[in-house]
Amino acid sequence: MVELGSKSPFGQSFDNSVFIIPAIVILAIVGFCSYKLVNSLKAKEEKQNQRRAKREEKKIKKTK
């Protein structure tokens, strides 16, 4: 339990789940956003590599 306030009998106290559950939700959101960002960057890089390969292939065909 997390105790807020002084040691008086009228102090407030919160259950730890009040802090743990929002922390888990925030970590899940950050993890999901990180996953989507990395996935997007990898897809973009793969697309650029495919375009580069097509251009090189066209150059090779033109020189023959």
Domain count, the chain: 1
Confidence label for 9 from pLDDT (cuts 50, 70 and 90): low
Contact 1, 16 (CB under 8 A): yes
Dihedral (CA of 37, 43, 48, 49) sign = positive
Of residues 34 and 15, which shows the higher confidence score? 34
Interacting residues of 4 by C-beta distance below 8 A, sequence separation 6+: 11, 12, 13, 14
Kindly state whether residue 35 falls inside one of the protein's structural domains: yes
Residue-level pLDDT at 16: 87
Please state the pTM of the whole predicted model. Answer: 0.64
Kindly state whether residue 1 falls inside one of the protein's structural domains: no
Kindly state whether residue 3 falls inside one of the protein's structural domains: no
Could you read off the pLDDT of 25-37 as tens digits, one per residue?
999 999 999 999 9
